[in-house]
Amino acid sequence: MAEKTLIEGIREALDEELARDDSVFITGEDVGQRGGVFRATLGLFDKYGPTRVIDSPLAELSIVAVGIGAAMNGLRPICEIQFADFIQPAYNQIVNEAARMYYRTGGTFTVPLVIRTPYGGGIGGGLYHSQSIEATYAHVPGLKVVIPSNPHDAKGLLKSAVRDNNPVLFLEPKKGYRLIKGEVPEGDYTVPIGQAQITREGSDISVYVYGMMHYYCQQAAEEVAKEGIEVELVDLRTLNPLDKDTVLNSFQKTGKALIVYEDNRFLGYGAEIAAILADEGFNYMDAPIMRVTGPDVPAVPYSHPLQDWFMPNPAKIAEAMRKLARY
């Protein structure tokens, strides 16, 4: 085991999958000699060449469309969208083509496609480099949506995504690319898609979280533990398909739920978690379901003080944990 950053876990997964399977290739803006805007593909062009690591035009619709066509013809493309904010031109290709192809062809065609993209705020990126898109795409049947929160899972989940015969949207919390560190095993391993993980055992509150917010929730949980509040952290890891058993089992244990996500509050992904808990876990409920989220403004502001106002952080989360524990 070696300590790696989140971006290093992603890069290792890409490298190993390219080496393992000749049908795997990467395409996207600046993924070649530059190694990507965040350097996720650094060194892969020199190692595998321009037919396996392919610079694309600045056209997200075409990046995904080429990936779909290649996937339907025996290849396993990994398409990088430089920022999640730029994915909308490809919405029709993702939702109406990739996600529905298996269903509409009666199982004749599969689309083993991975779409990687960094999402979320906290880097001073302003409105067009900070958006959270997970709720929009987790709503789509036929599309798997995965978000790792640590380097171990980033590597293992990405390798599972590449080997999956269904389209997978792999969202990467860019604020955590070099901030989040953890142990990563050497060599080949996978983390199953569709399984949440209890990353901290607790008896007082269940906290449902994913991506960068998991990192902040760990810090908040450690802070309130000094006050005798034992928080159970549920790292969802896969948003669609959701591991409802783990979600409900934790709620049965604690009776109190806090859901944390950095997207806008209204109709954010956590609203679905709240609905599941209210619908299928009502008998376990000891307090109102609470959320810590971003506000309902169009996007994360560029101004750093306003960005701090928008983003959930350990202090805001810890205060919500205290309030829920007191209920």
Q: Are 31 and 80 in contact (CB under 8 A)?
A: yes
Q: Is residue 191 part of a domain?
A: no
Burial letters 172-196, b for 16+ CB under 10 A, else e: bbbbbbeebebebeeeeeebebeeb
Q: Are 90 and 133 in contact (CB under 8 A)?
A: no
The CB-side HSE value for 6 (13 A sphere, CA atoms) comes to 19
Q: Are 79 and 63 in contact (CB under 8 A)?
A: yes
Q: Which domain holds residue 134?
A: 2-184
Taking alpha carbons only, the member of 275, 288, 270 closest to residue 327 is: 288
Q: Are 151 and 8 in contact (CB under 8 A)?
A: yes
Catalytic entry in 129, 139, 152, 214: 129
Q: Is residue 222 part of a domain?
A: yes
Domain end: 184, 217, 232, which one? 184
Q: What is the CATH number of the domain that holds 106?
A: 3.40.50.970
Q: Is residue 189 part of a domain?
A: no
Q: What is the CATH number of the domain that holds 250?
A: 3.40.50.920
- What's residue 106's pLDDT? 96
Q: Tens digits of per-residue pLDDT, 139-153?
A: 999 999 999 999 999
Q: Are 197 and 210 in contact (CB under 8 A)?
A: no
Active site residue 129: yes
In angstroms, what CA-CA distances link 92 with 39, 54, 88, 97, 200? 28, 23, 8, 7, 39
pLDDT above 70 as % of the chain: 100
d(CA 202, CA 98): 40
Same domain, 114 and 26: yes
- What's residue 32's pLDDT? 97
Q: Tens digits of per-residue pLDDT, 77-122?
A: 999 999 999 999 999 999 999 999 999 999 999 999 999 999 999 9
Q: Kindly report the length of the chain.
A: 327
Taking alpha carbons only, the member of 254, 8, 220, 37 closest to residue 125 is: 37
Taking alpha carbons only, the member of 165, 164, 172 closest to residue 190 is: 164
Confidence of residue 59 (pLDDT cuts 50, 70, 90): very high
Q: Is 233 helix (H, G, I), strand (E, B) or coil?
A: strand
Question: Can you spell out the DSSP letters for 64-133?
Answer: HHHHHHHHTTT-EEEEEPSSGGG-GGGHHIIIIIITTHHHHTTTS-----EEEEEE-S-SS--TTS----
Site of tokens 């971003």 = 294
Q: Is residue 190 part of a domain?
A: no
Is the sign of the CA dihedral 269, 307, 309, 200 positive or negative? positive
Query: Does position 1 have pLDDT exceeding 90, yes or no?
Result: no
Q: Is residue 257 part of a domain?
A: yes
Q: Is residue 192 part of a domain?
A: no
Structure token pair of residue 63: 């990046």
Q: Tens digits of per-residue pLDDT, 35-58?
A: 999 999 999 999 999 999 999 999
Same domain, 10 and 86: yes
Taking alpha carbons only, the member of 99, 130, 127 closest to residue 240 is: 99
Q: Is 0.85 surpassed by the pTM of this model?
A: yes
Alpha helices in 21-75 (DSSP H): 44-48, 60-71
Taking alpha carbons only, the member of 194, 172, 162 closest to residue 67 is: 162
Please tell me the total count of domains within the chain.
2
Q: Tens digits of per-residue pLDDT, 160-184?
A: 999 999 999 999 999 999 999 999 9
Taking alpha carbons only, the member of 169, 193, 194 closest to residue 244 is: 194
Q: Tens digits of per-residue pLDDT, 181-222?
A: 999 999 899 999 999 999 999 999 999 999 999 999 999 999
Same domain, 67 and 176: yes
Same domain, 165 and 226: no
Same domain, 56 and 145: yes
Q: Is 272 helix (H, G, I), strand (E, B) or coil?
A: helix
